């Protein structure tokens, strides 16, 4: 039995005869480069039963981890055949007869990872979905479960921050970096962003400052900056690293005693080098963060509900926007997938598959 | 007014006329190599007043940090003229008239660092001293406040260990390493020690196993060992590093998910290299530990009293012995100081100044 929401109940037989759904999905049956192993495949979807929910995907981003998963380079291994993608925003089409919390027309996002979101339609389980207000933009909702939550947890779970405290990060224009700036602005925390120098550095600085960055400095500028020594900003007790190598060392150098450097990415493919002195005498800690683990370990926790509530409130109020992005049609997935994993893709622009075009 | 204990009270004037004390101290008035800047100097000591305690030093070790302090390479900077040394065991000679907790004849150790212990006699404040039972050996008491406490805190403060758990460490024959093995044995924890290969490796392994090491492996042996994969020992969640470089990386590689590598030294003078993957996907944390900070921050804490009580009980029971050491007369301090900082000195033998010879 299906329910199409409270306002438009029809039975499953009627409905399936009326509008049998064919999903177009980006599937792969072996690991490899996305451009080579992904195939656009059509499958007729079964009607949603029991606790299942049939959704139409509206938008689904291409994240670096999605590409790594397809390449077989990620710790999470899918079962083949697999549909690519982990994030999306979708609209509920109809629900199985045991579903209580959802109705047709609502917008939802996935609570679980590995659901395969690069598809026009999908059947998920009720407990894999979270309703999101339609006041939240499609790009924001589609990209809400990985980057903003990573920024949120890294700001909450390593050091107890107070308004007026400072956070420093490299790769400050990454999608997580942009989220960090916006959450810091909302919470009254100073955020200092480090970026690589580039021809369009002035525009980049302006963009990040618009998102709430207190200071944006190039890697050369931070080495000679006196923003902390002069007392203009409090020395940071929390730093985020998505680059590694010398960039990570430089960021950690500015940490106050007892500070923590949290690594969530390694764009340079160079390890983090940790001198003995800061470890022992400054009590600097080097930690890592992986959103996938946190989400699994806190799947139904009140802390997770609270986090989504806060993030969506900021999005509704226009205080938190999606990272720089480009909407691309599903048919152009090959170009987008190739670009998403490049250095430019990771720090410059997020590609979001738009299923409506 | 002075008190010479409950049994032999004489007034200060009588006492000072009878036995005015001249201290022979190893002093320095500038930073440099210990052999060059240390001078054996005689000073007449004032009578202890108020809360002061006059002690005769019985034995005082030469620790690597003592040498670094004299060289000016340590974060703790002494005021000149300074007396070298931070640890000792001493005998109370007489006390000022406001002293309540001490009496002549008792053995004491310093609770504060930087007191200058390379001297035959000293006047300290009551709250800088802790009474230690005479059942504790002189070498054990003299070396109790730095290495055993470092091992104790590193085992207690980073990961919650249970009997049957495993700890792994490099530089396993360092003074702290020897303390780790003994505390692990007392607490039912498996301790795996990594050492550099050497001609007398068999004797070294035997010595460390006598102290309680569950397994002692060379750096080559641990790379191919299956003690964790085979399930013989649980994968460690706690590792200690006093070497750095490749040795630290190798040790961290054996940590279980969520494990912590604690660095307390850097003998190789190479930094710790931290790959991004283990930080993010295995949630491995890289921390540091400095006993001096902990002691300052916990100067009068119940946790500190509890720690000393446990360590001294083990020493009294013969379950915890001093690290490999050699007693040397004060007159031979130059040779001992030079040897103490060498690689061999750090991992092989601790030199303890014996003030009675």
pLDDT bucket at B5, cuts 50 / 70 / 90: very low
CA distance B4 to chain A (A): 41
**Residue with the two structure tokens 């590409």:** A67
pLDDT recorded at residue B343: 53
Q: How many CB pairs under 8 A join A and B?
A: 92
Q: What is the mean pLDDT of chain A?
A: 92
CATH of B2-143+323-354, one of 3.40.1390.20, 3.10.180.10, 3.90.180.10, 3.40.50.11900: 3.90.180.10
pLDDT recorded at residue B347: 52
**Inter-chain residue contact B287 with A275, CB threshold 8 Å:** no
Q: Which of A13-22, A83-92, A302-311, B106-115 has the lowest mean pLDDT?
A: A13-22
Q: What is the ipTM of this complex?
A: 0.90
Q: Is the pLDDT of residue B17 over 60?
A: no
CA distance A48 to A51: 8
Q: Are B217 and B193 in contact (CB under 8 A)?
A: yes
Across the interface, of A277, A279, A289, the residue whose CB is closest to B286 is A279
Tell me the per-residue pLDDT of B172-227, one tens digit each, with 9 for 90 and over.
999 999 999 999 999 999 999 999 999 999 999 999 999 999 999 999 999 999 99
Is B231 known as a binding-site position? no
- Per-residue b/e over B60-94, b at no fewer than 16 CB within 10 Å? bbbbbbbbebbeeebeeebeeebbbbbbbbbbbbb
| Closest residue by Cα to residue B34 from B75, B63, B76 | B63
* Catalytic (active site) residue A74: yes
Say yes or no: domain B147-292 is CATH 3.40.50.720. yes
pLDDT bucket at A165, cuts 50 / 70 / 90: very high
Across the interface, of A266, A280, A288, the residue whose CB is closest to B288 is A280
pLDDT recorded at residue B239: 98
Nearest CA in chain B to A73: B277
pLDDT recorded at residue A336: 84
- SS3 label, residue A172: coil
Tell me the per-residue pLDDT of B277-335, one tens digit each, with 9 for 90 and over.
999 999 999 999 999 999 999 999 999 999 999 999 999 999 999 999 999 998 888 88
B147-292 and B2-143+323-354 share a CATH fold: no
| Domain boundary assignment for chain B | 2-143+323-354, 147-292
Tell me the per-residue pLDDT of A19-36, one tens digit each, with 9 for 90 and over.
689 999 999 999 999 989
Tell me the per-residue pLDDT of A45-92, one tens digit each, with 9 for 90 and over.
999 999 999 999 999 999 989 999 999 999 999 999 999 999 999 999
Q: Does A273 touch chain B (CB under 8 A)?
A: yes
**DSSP characters for A18-34?**
HH--EEEEEEESS-S-H
Across the interface, of B263, B275, B283, the residue whose CB is closest to A271 is B275
Mean pLDDT of B55-63: 97
pLDDT recorded at residue B336: 84
């Amino acid at each position: 039995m299906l329910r199409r929401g409270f306002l438009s109940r029809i039975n499953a037989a009627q409905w399936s005869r009326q509008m049998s759904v064919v999903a177009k999905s980006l599937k792969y049956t072996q690991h490899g480069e996305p451009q080579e192993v992904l195939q656009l495949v059509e499958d007729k979807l079964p009607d949603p039963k029991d606790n299942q929910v049939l959704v139409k995907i509206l938008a689904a981003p291409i994240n670096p981890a999605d590409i790594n998963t397809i390449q077989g380079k990620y710790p999470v291994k899918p079962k083949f055949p697999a549909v690519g993608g982990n994030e999306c925003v979708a609209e509920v089409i109809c629900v199985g007869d045991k579903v209580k919390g959802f109705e047709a027309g609502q917008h939802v996002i996935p609570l679980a990872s590995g659901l395969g979101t690069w598809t026009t339609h999908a059947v998920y389980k009720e407990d894999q979905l979270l309703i999101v207000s339609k006041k939240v933009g499609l790009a924001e909702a589609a990209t809400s479960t990985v980057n903003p939550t990573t920024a949120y947890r890294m700001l909450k779970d390593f050091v107890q921050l107070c308004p007026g405290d400072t956070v420093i990060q490299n790769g400050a224009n990454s999608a997580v970096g942009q989220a960090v700036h916006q959450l810091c602005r909302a919470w009254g925390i100073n955020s200092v962003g480090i970026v690589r120098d580039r021809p369009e550095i002035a525009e980049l600085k302006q963009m990040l400052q618009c998102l709430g960055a207190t200071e944006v400095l190039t890697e050369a500028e931070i080495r000679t900056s006196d923003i902390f020594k002069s007392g203009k900003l409090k020395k940071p007790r929390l730093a985020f690293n998505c680059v590694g190598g010398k960039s990570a060392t430089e960021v950690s150098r500015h940490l106050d005693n007892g500070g923590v450097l949290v690594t969530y990415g390694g764009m340079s493919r160079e390890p983090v080098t940790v001198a003995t002195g800061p470890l022992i005498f400054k009590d600097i800690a080097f930690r890592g963060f992986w959103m996938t683990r946190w989400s699994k370990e806190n799947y139904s926790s009140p802390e997770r509900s609270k986090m989504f509530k806060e993030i969506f409130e900021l999005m509704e109020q226009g205080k938190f926007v999606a990272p720089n992005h480009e909407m691309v049609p599903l048919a152009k997935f090959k170009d987008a997938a190739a670009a998403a994993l490049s250095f430019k893709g990771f720090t410059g622009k997020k590609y979001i598959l738009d299923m409506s075009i």
